[in-house]
Every structure is written in structure tokens, then in C-alpha cells.
Amino acid sequence: MGSIGQNKPPVIDFSEVVGKPRSAEWVTAREQVRDALIKYGCFEATFDGVPMDTRKALLGSLKELFDLPLETKLRNSSDKPFCGYNGPSHRAPLNESIGIDDADVYNKVDGISMTNWQEGNPEFSRTIHSFSEKLSLLDRIVRRMILESLGLEKYMEEHLNSTTYALRLMKYNGPQTTDMKMGVCSHTDKNMLTILYQNKVEGLEVKLKDGDWISIKPKPECFIAMVGESLYAWTNGRLHCPLHRVMMTGNDARYSVGLFSNPKAGQMIKAPDEMVDDDHPLLFKPFDYNQFIESYASQPNRDPETSLKAYCGI
């Protein structure tokens, strides 16, 4: 079902667990998920729920989108932090990205298509929607396993229905040098759970609890699941939320996508009583996710390692 290296997140096989929540395979994967997210805050996942032809089409759609003129991409505007189009910056010098809210809802995706192509791009819309919809099943499986393993089953329906899905499409331009260059600086995700997929160009690095950085080199069939700060806070620190970054070399562009399960507007993040005891005192006051994101985005010199503690730490 999985393999764990001494200093490497495990590869966990989800091919035999879909629709089998009481099976031996489910229980085995569930324990691997819990252990990996406690130790590393992330793991690789093999999941055949997203066909390889959909993944191939997705990567083609990314190239087609980011090859559009800059003035076209700039039409993807949003008042929300980290949404819409974002070009290279001092924190992400090689990166440009476009975010799609409610990416598992076809009409929302098709709206992005109409924004970027005068007559729309139905193939783009179908590909992005299909990928998001199918991958959201893996998100729900992983989060269900987390709650089961922590004894929080009574919160299952409430928790799974408390989020929406955003898809961030990303391109990292090759630095055109053999020297290692920063694509995106070290940061933590702020949402519940992130699931990443990428092309063959490497670059993702994760910081371990002991301070070492490791390179994540997923196989083409693998996704990467990663804990965000909202899930870290909701479990009262039971799971690890890892710093990660992108470091690149060479000439080739790196394309990747991230499916983010984001708390709904007005959703308060509050650790269940079961997660708080004498050995695990409460770490954070209840907080509004959207207000936290806005506060974080407004600080140009923000420290990703201390931002949540500074915002609502006890």
C-alpha cells in the first residue's frame, strides 16, 4: 500500500479504497495518511480516479493558457487575495498563476474560458472541470481518513461540507541557468488541504521538522497532498503544516496545478474540544479564514512560519 523512506514522505496507494471505507485497504491507507501528515505534513498519492489522458490534456491546457498575451491574462482579475492572475514578483520571481474559484463547478470554469478566449474554449473548460471534479474525490477521501484516525467522525459531514474548491494554475519559467534559482519563496498554504500535480520538471522542496529541506520528485502518476494552516489549526497542531518552496535550474518551464479545499466565506476555524487536553493545550483562538487571508496578504514582509500565531495564537 505504501513505502516510507527515513527522510522522505511516503507514497500511498489509493487505487483500492474508493467506495470501500470499511475495507482492510482503507484502514491501512488511513493509518499511513495519519502517520505521514503527523511526521511530514505531506505525502505522495497514487490515485487512478483522474485518468492519465485527463492529466495530459490538463498540462496541454496550462501551456495554451500561459502562452496567451499578457494583456489577456491580466483580464483574470479578482478582489480576493491570491486569486485571479498573478505575475512574477520578488517572492515568486519565476512564477505566474491564475486561480479559479469553484473549479468543480462547470459554469465557473467556463467563465474563465470566456475571459481568456473571445469565443470561449470548450475543451479547456471541460478539461479543467473534469480534472477538478475527479480530484476533489481524493481530497474528500484524505480528509475523511484524517477525521476517522483522530476520532472526529461526528464532525465528518460538517467538516466536508465546510469547504469549496479552488484550482490554481501555475507556470514557472525556466531560469536559463545551471545555477539554482528560487521559483517561489518558502511558504505554507493557508487552506485545509492542498493536492498538487505537475509536469516532469522538478523544483518542489519541503522543509522537514528537523530543518532539512528535501526535494520532492513525484512520479507522473502521483499527486502530492499537503496540510494547510487551517487544517493544522483545526486539529490543534496534531498534523504538521510544512514550509515548501520551488527551486529551479535549467531552461524548461515547470507547469503545476494545486487543488485547494478552502473554508467557505464566513467559516470559523475552531479546534474541536476532543483535540484539546492537558497534553495539547489550545494553540489558536477561533478565526475567520477569509479575514486571516486578507490580513496575511496585506503584510509585504510577512513571515509564513509565524503568521497564524501572530494573528490568533494563544
* Residue of 237, 146, 243, 250 lying closest to 203 (CA atoms): 250
Over 50: is that where the pLDDT of 130 sits?
yes
Alpha-carbon span 228 to 217, nearest angstrom: 20
Angle formed at CA 163 by CA 114 and CA 225, multiple of 5 degrees: 90
What share of the chain has pLDDT > 90, as a percent?
89
Indicate the domain borders of the chain: 2-265
3-state secondary structure string across the chain: CEEEECCEEEEEECCCCCCCCCCHHHHHHHHHHHHHHHHCCEEEEECCCCCHHHHHHHHHHHHHHHCCCHHHHCCCCCCCCCCCEECCCCCCCCEEEEEEECCCCHHHHHHHHHHHCCCCCHHHHHHHHHHHHHHHHHHHHHHHHHHHHCCCHHHHHHHHCCEEEEEEEEEECCCCEEEEEEEEEEECCCCCEEEEEECCCCCEEEECCCCCEEECCCCCCEEEEEECHHHHHHCCCCCCCCCEEEEEEECCCEEEEEEEEEECCCCEECCCHHHCECCECCCECCEEHHHHHHHHHCCCCCCCCCHHHHHHEC
Which residue's C-alpha cell is 517561489?
184
Whether domain 2-265 has CATH 2.60.120.330: yes
* Residue of 281, 21, 14, 278 lying closest to 148 (CA atoms): 21
pLDDT in tens, 2-24: 434 458 899 999 999 999 998 99
Q: What is the pLDDT confidence band of residue 213, given thresholds at 50, 70 and 90?
A: very high
Tell me what pLDDT residue 6 has. Answer: 52
Query: Across residues 106-122, what is the average pLDDT?
Result: 95
Q: What are the backbone dihedrals phi and psi of residue 49, each rounded to the nearest 5 degrees, phi first?
A: -70, -20
pLDDT in tens, 236-289: 999 999 999 999 999 999 999 999 999 999 889 999 999 999 999 999 999 999
